[in-house]
Chain A
Amino acid sequence: MESALQGYGARAPVQSGQPANLADILERVLDKGIVIAGDIQINLLDIELLTIKLRLLVASVDKAREMGIDWWENDPQLTSRAEQLEEENRDLRERLDRLESAVLETGDGDGRE
């Protein structure tokens, strides 16, 4: 099976002339680095950059959130929220399983015990 990163234009650890991934650059240059207002209209630029960021980056975070993976929204110690979600999911699944077995038992009389 191919690696999940096959063809992923990774920037080599040692400068090899291979261009960096655009996503890697954008996530850095768009909202990282020192932000100082140049005297040419910074407020409007903030808005524009925000629009681009939403389009390029945030969509994937929503996907991740759907999967219950939102570690990066918390501190780097990666704690409570993910576990809490996991617990909620487990509770829901257990409840669903109980409901399904109840339906099956009354439905075809083929109970498990």
Chain B
Amino acid sequence: MAASDERESGWWVYCIVAADRELPGHLSGLSSADPPVLIEEGNVAAIASRVPLDEFGEAPLRANLNDLAWLERTVRAHEAVLDAMLPSGALVPMRVCTIYSDEAQVREMLDARGALFDHVLAGLAGKAEWGMKIVADRARLADHVRTRSEAARALEAEAAGKPAGGAYLARKKIAALTRDESDRLLDEVVREAHARVNRCSEGAVILPAQNRELAGYSGDMVFNGAYLVDDEQSDAVALVIDELRSEYGPLGMAFDLTGPWPAYNFSAPAPPREVRA
């Protein structure tokens, strides 16, 4: 903490943990030259590291946040610190770019919000966030529906013996039928999948579909959900996903499970829903 550095650096806060936690030795954070440290105040501590303001100050951030390579490097470094802390206890994740000008400001924040952090940490103990995404291959789903629908087969037969106009109408009907049936089936599967995972969880949040290029999938992301799951239930969630894959995979539905994540979606600002007595 050389005094000469005070003006040129700020403190990036990664997350809040209980004050008695220890840092693993291999944390590098945003810059290996300034690894994260614990700043303790009362019952809680911030995990924070010094960041240079010529990169993380207001003006440079404006430019850097729009540079996807910089953004990726930064968010992965942020996430890596949280990932390293998650297995050994609860943490409250901070949104990226929570930066303070000096250590005293971090302490002030901890002091002012200590009770809230305590409360949130207690609610998250022994739990983690899991994500389920469902991607549908609509062509495959439509094939499945067409080959299994009695009505569609009847219409095909009808179309075969018809002159041009009638056959055209029959084909239109088959297409409409397939579309309706596919939508209905998709809706059913999504609700069923969500309900099954939700039964193993203590909270659920539905998220927007992800950008196709960024997430690297093909097809339609028809569902993206996050769940707060007790560690003892995480095997049950994995089992549910396996079941969903074998039941609905052949229809053209792919199920993606990710986790454990820090409880990003269940940390703020309201305390997580408590379902246990």
Could you list which residues of chain A lie within 8 angstroms of chain B, going by C-beta atoms? 1, 3-11, 13, 15, 19-36, 38-41, 44-45, 48-49, 51-52, 56-61, 63-64, 67-69, 71-72, 76, 78, 82, 86, 90, 93, 97, 100-101, 104, 108, 110-112
| CB nearest to B170 among chain A residues | A112
Interface string of B192-235 (1 = CB under 8 A from A): 00100010000011111111101111111111110000000010
The docked-state distance in angstroms from the alpha carbon of A101 to that of B79 is 59
> Are B258 and A11 neighbours in the complex by a CB distance under 8 Å?
yes
Partner-contacting stretch, out of B22-30, B34-42, B54-62, B148-156:
B54-62
The docked-state distance in angstroms from the alpha carbon of A111 to that of B140 is 34
What chain A residues lie within 8 Å of B244 (beta carbons)?
none
| CB nearest to A49 among chain B residues | B65
Q: Given that A34-B93, A36-B113, A45-B97 are contacting pairs, would A23 and B254 also be in contact in the complex, using a CB cutoff of 8 Å?
A: no
Interface residues of B in 241-277 (CB under 8 A from A): 249, 252, 254, 256-262, 264-265, 267-269
> Are A57 and B93 neighbours in the complex by a CB distance under 8 Å?
no
Interface assignment of B10: CB less than 8 Å from any CB of chain A: yes
19 extra interchain contacts, Cβ-Cβ under 8 A, other than A23-B215, A40-B58? A8-B215, A8-B216, A21-B215, A23-B214, A24-B215, A26-B71, A28-B79, A28-B262, A29-B96, A33-B96, A34-B267, A40-B100, A71-B206, A72-B209, A76-B194, A82-B187, A97-B169, A100-B172, A110-B165
The docked-state distance in angstroms from the alpha carbon of A27 to that of B222 is 16
What chain B residues lie within 8 Å of A32 (beta carbons)?
93, 95, 264-265, 267-268
Q: Given that A13-B238, A33-B94 are contacting pairs, would A97 and B176 also be in contact in the complex, using a CB cutoff of 8 Å?
A: yes
Interface assignment of B191: CB less than 8 Å from any CB of chain A: yes
| CB nearest to B116 among chain A residues | A34
> Are B100 and A38 neighbours in the complex by a CB distance under 8 Å?
yes
Please give me the 5 A-B residue pairs with the lowest Cβ-Cβ distance, nearest first: A23-B215, A4-B219, A32-B264, A33-B93, A28-B264
What chain B residues lie within 8 Å of A59 (beta carbons)?
211
Could you list which residues of chain B lie within 8 angstroms of chain A, going by C-beta atoms? 10, 13, 15-16, 53, 56-58, 61-62, 65-66, 71-72, 75-76, 78-79, 83, 87, 92-101, 105, 109, 113, 120, 130-131, 135-137, 140, 163-166, 168-169, 172-173, 176, 179-180, 183, 186-187, 190-191, 194, 198, 204-212, 214-225, 234, 238, 249, 252, 254, 256-262, 264-265, 267-269
Q: Given that A3-B254, A34-B95, A36-B98 are contacting pairs, would A60 and B62 also be in contact in the complex, using a CB cutoff of 8 Å?
A: no
The docked-state distance in angstroms from the alpha carbon of A6 to that of B249 is 13
> Are B194 and A28 neighbours in the complex by a CB distance under 8 Å?
no
The docked-state distance in angstroms from the alpha carbon of A97 to that of B174 is 12
> Are B210 and A10 neighbours in the complex by a CB distance under 8 Å?
no
> Are B217 and A110 neighbours in the complex by a CB distance under 8 Å?
no
> Are B92 and A34 neighbours in the complex by a CB distance under 8 Å?
yes
> Are A56 and B211 neighbours in the complex by a CB distance under 8 Å?
yes
What chain B residues lie within 8 Å of A9 (beta carbons)?
216
CB distance from A26 to the nearest CB of B (A): 6
> Are A61 and B187 neighbours in the complex by a CB distance under 8 Å?
no
Q: Which of A11, A27, A49, A51 has the most CB of B within 10 A?
A: A27
> Are B187 and A60 neighbours in the complex by a CB distance under 8 Å?
no
